[in-house]
Amino acid sequence: MRLDRLLANSGYGSRTAVKDIIRKGKVTVAGLVVTDGGYQVEDFLQNTITIEDSSAKVRKYLHFLLNKPSGVITALEDSRHRTIAEFIPSTLATVGLFPVGRLDIDTTGLLLLTNDGTLCHRLASPKWHVDKTYYFEISGKYLDDIDTQKLQQGLILTDGLVCKPAILEIQTPYSGMITIQEGKYHQVKRMMKALGGTITVLERRVMGPVVLDTSLAPGELRELSQDEITMLYEAVGMVIE
């Protein structure tokens, strides 16, 4: 990968800012000063990069977990609503992060951010059978074993759409956990409506092997651990680059 892109992707500033640092001779690769931002860095040399004599932490791709709060939409730009962009630090504004799937404006919880387009597509695609588990509360409906059976069989929504089988774990008559492998528009809300209830609280707790970090306050994010990244890639048949 180009040196300037590698450093920009790793959060060292915009491509323009990184180019300037490189031109000033502040970057070395394997002990050699490099002043050309287009210098191609082989994978085995990435751990030899320094910036102003300090080892650089560089990665081809970045992956974060955001605890999405209510009242913001899963987008990076919007003229009418607050977006998740306000929770991304300015140091990461130029690395090309984008959300994996979408959560409704009033849905909270686990939202993954990555700049690996292939990983994002596979995690969001029903083809790869990635579980997405939500905690929910409803009104106007008493949950029972019949609802569990209907979801296991593949619920038919009021508009005729047939959902893939889902797992319902009832916690109280008006709350529980539901696991799906799809991500259709307002899907969990529509499923509960088809059962006769109305969602009042919805929080995503799990996506694939990654579990919501309860130490994160709403609006906080952290980088995924190496173990979490490895498991995510394995879940969709990919190898970490």
Instruction: Name the residues annotated as catalytic.
Output: 104
Measured CA to CA, the distance from residue 223 to residue 57 in angstroms comes to: 13
Q: Report yes or no: 183 and 175 within 8 Å, Cβ to Cβ.
A: no
- Determine the Cα angle at 181 with ends 176 and 186, to 5°: 70
DSSP-based three-state secondary structure for 1: coil
What per-residue string of b and e applies to 102-134 under the rule 16 or more CB within 10 Å gives b?
bbbeebbbbbbbbbbeebbebbbeeeeebebbb
Give the residue among 40, 39, 38, 58 at the shortest CA–CA distance from 48: 58
